[in-house]
Structure 1
């Protein structure tokens, strides 16, 4: 597993504009809900992805069922994954297949999958594992 420097993480966060957040929850007590709200409050466009909530609205966006449902013109830069580690490979495969502007695959705290990370890196993407942007943003801007 590659260890990214603070400058690399800072660069990823600075160039990111649109984030597809896979595993979004409408429940405010869930980490995915809090992180999505934090990212939106910090100027990122967050497109929530959750098949059980598809068609509903959150953070000013329509929740989509899958990454394939996000139009190309959304220009998603990052996919932020809130799924168990063993569920990451199909998410990364979908991201690689359907998000042509993708630059970063981000796996949340406690989530890592070396095989999926290698597939993304082999396509020229940056990969962050076992970190949370809602922790990294305040830490790196302090």
Structure 2
């Protein structure tokens, strides 16, 4: 998928900390970071944490400075998505990527109506690795 191959800056909503290294919400962004993608951590929990993967933590997507992110990679249960809609719309990412097993038709429709591309129920790590294998990176 070209979206995964083209991403240079990815905000990870719901990222876990190093203490949860065995969970996808940590090892997927860790892989991206190792592959040279700028990862911007946006944890939902862990209020005491100020850095993840050596990068400054932000509590809201709209507070991330600099150029817009290419992808907001979401690690949240479908039922937890609606409260994040306003923040995502304010951040204006190119794409919102809902990880494997995550879909929410109404949430996805609201993003699409705002001109934000949505990828649902796909793993960004798997798609990025496929781009590497196929020589698209």
TM bracket, shorter-chain basis? 0.7 to 0.9
After TM superposition, give the deviation of residue 119 of structure 1 in Å: 1.0
Structure 2: gaps of 5 or more residues: none
TM-score under structure 2 normalisation?
0.85
Q: What are the equivalent positions in structure 2 for 1:57-76 lying under 5 Å apart?
A: 57-71=51-65, 73-76=66-69
Residues paired across the two proteins, number: 130
CA deviations over 1:111-142 (Å, ceiling 9, x no partner): 00111111111122211001111011122443
Match of 1:118 in 2: 109
Structure 1 equivalent of residue 15 of structure 2: 24
Detail structure 1 runs of 4+ shifted over 4 Å in the superposition: none
SS of alignment partner, residue 20 of structure 1: strand
**Higher helix proportion (structure 1 or 2):** 1
The structural deviation recorded for 1:64 is 1.6
After TM superposition, the score normalised by the length of structure 1 is: 0.82
Superposition RMSD in Å: 1.7
Which structure has the higher relative contact order (CA within 8 Å, separation 6+)?
A: 2
* Residues 1:79 and 1:116: Cα distance change in structure 2 (over 3 Å): same
